[in-house]
Structure 1
Amino acid sequence: MNTSPFLQYRDMVMGHYSTAKWLRSFVMSLWNGGGYKIGLSQLGSIDEAHFNAAMAMLRQYREQGENDREFMTLAEDIRVRMGEEQAAEEREQAFSDWQRDLRYHLNRQGRMRPGEIAQAVEDHYGWLESEFDAGHSAEATGDALEARARGAG
């Protein structure tokens, strides 16, 4: 029995580079074309190895469809990874917005200059992340950050 290309090219598909991300989208479009759209125009710019991998997976899907256990396993692993990546992006955006609010609060208070605020944020970045993750407000954290920056906390 031949090895499924979904297993054979798994490491390539799960790589951490742009063409691997495209291959993941390609696999997911096979699994659920309505839910996972893909731009096929990128086929013209991928290298021969990635093109061959995509065509081998396409041929296998055409022959076996969702009866290929390796295809289904890979699709589920990609779905989980995409969810984790989406959650990480959303958290990063929320943390960025929270930091903006914190800086605005500190600036509005007028007790710290913009350069002092920037330095305090840089000096206490890890602590700020833990405050954000704990669900503390930007305003309350800003007041505590000011105290920390001034050596009182």
Structure 2
Amino acid sequence: MPISQGQAKISTEGLYVLLSGIYEGSSYIELPVDVAIHVNSSSIKINGKEVVIYNQTTIEVSKCYGAEVATDTFTIKRLGDTCRIMFTPLLNLSSGELVVVSAVNNGSFRRLYVSTKNMIFKSYIDTLNVGAYTFYLHSPLILKVKIVEVAGG
């Protein structure tokens, strides 16, 4: 995730708009401020294309102002003139949860939570491959998506 560095200030609202792009198909974001990135990420591959799932990632923005923001996927907290962006863990294999990512018609990706214990799947994935295991899903499809690798990081 390339991020440019600069000396400008940015509001938490501006950060929210930029960060929302990560989950709407953007491959990278650019911030006009100095940042420090701490990443513990996991990834999966869909049809050979790797998609990064941010897991316990923190971005510290040096010059930031505005109200704190909290969403389902990330939180922006103010610490004086610094903002700390914390991403919600989305992949936690140790607790038996998988993140299943499916393609949608506009080319962006949508996260789905799948319980491996109860085998509850959403409607528009036909097969799920995790290691040597294949699960077949009988339901209407939007796009055929095959997860060929799940790797924890």
Superposition TM-score tier, normalisation by shorter sequence? under 0.3
TM-score (norm 1): 0.27
TM-score (norm 2): 0.27
Structure with a larger share of its residues in strand: 2
Larger radius of gyration: 1
Structure with a larger share of its residues in helix: 1
